[in-house]
C-alpha cells in the first residue's frame, strides 16, 4: 500500500522567501508528526496533530514556522521569511494513533536556503 509521501523532495530558496512543504500521511492514520533534521544531527520534533484535537506546536522554533492539517489527511508546513539556519531535511511521519504509535516516515524534503 501507499506510504507517507512528501513534496517537494528538494527545495532551494533564497533567504527571506516563504516555502511550503507538503505531507500526505497513510490513509486512516490519525496522528501526524513533523520533524527537522539538520546535517549530522538527530531528529528535532516540530509539531504533532492528532485527529481533530488542537495540535501540539511546542517544537516550532519560531513564529516563522506554522503548520496546518486538513482533517486527518494532508498537512502543510510553512516557513516564512526563510533563514539560512532553516536549511535541513524536514521529515513527516504518521501513525495509527496515540496507543498504536509505530511511526511511518516519508522520504523527507531537503530544504536549502541560500
Partner 1 sequence: KQEVTQIPAALSVPEGENLVLNCSFTDSAIYNLQWFRQDPGKGLTSLLLIQSSQREQTSGRLNASLDKSSGRSTLYIAASQPGDSATYLCAVRSGTYKYIFGTGTRLKVLA
The neighbouring-strand residues paired with 51 are none
Q: How far apart are CA 103 and CA 5, in angstroms?
A: 13
List residues near partner 1 by CB under 8 A. Answer: 4, 31, 33, 35, 40-45, 48, 50, 56, 59, 91, 93, 98, 101-108
Q: How far is the CB of 71 from partner 1 (least distance, A)?
A: 19
- DSSP 8-state secondary structure symbol assigned to residue 85: G
Beta carbons within 10 angstroms of residue 97's beta carbon: 12
Residue closer to partner 1, measured from CB, 53 or 81: 53
Residue closer to partner 1, measured from CB, 79 or 92: 92
Q: How far apart are CA 27 and CA 44, in angstroms?
A: 25
Residue closer to partner 1, measured from CB, 3 or 16: 3
Q: How far is the CB of 62 from partner 1 (least distance, A)?
A: 19
Amino acid at each position: 500500500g501507499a506510504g507517507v509521501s512528501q513534496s517537494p523532495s528538494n527545495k532551494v530558496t533564497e533567504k527571506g522567501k516563504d516555502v511550503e512543504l507538503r505531507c500526505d500521511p497513510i490513509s486512516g492514520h490519525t496522528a501526524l508528526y513533523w520533524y527537522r533534521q539538520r546535517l549530522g544531527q538527530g531528529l528535532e520534533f516540530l509539531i504533532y496533530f492528532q485527529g481533530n484535537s488542537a495540535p501540539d506546536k511546542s517544537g516550532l522554533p519560531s513564529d516563522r514556522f506554522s503548520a496546518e492539517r486538513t482533517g486527518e489527511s494532508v498537512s502543510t508546513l510553512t516557513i516564512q521569511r526563510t533563514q539560512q539556519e532553516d536549511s535541513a531535511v524536514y521529515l513527516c511521519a504518521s501513525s495509527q494513533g496515540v496507543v498504536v504509535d509505530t511511526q511511518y516516515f516519508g522520504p523527507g524534503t531537503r530544504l536549502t536556503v541560500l
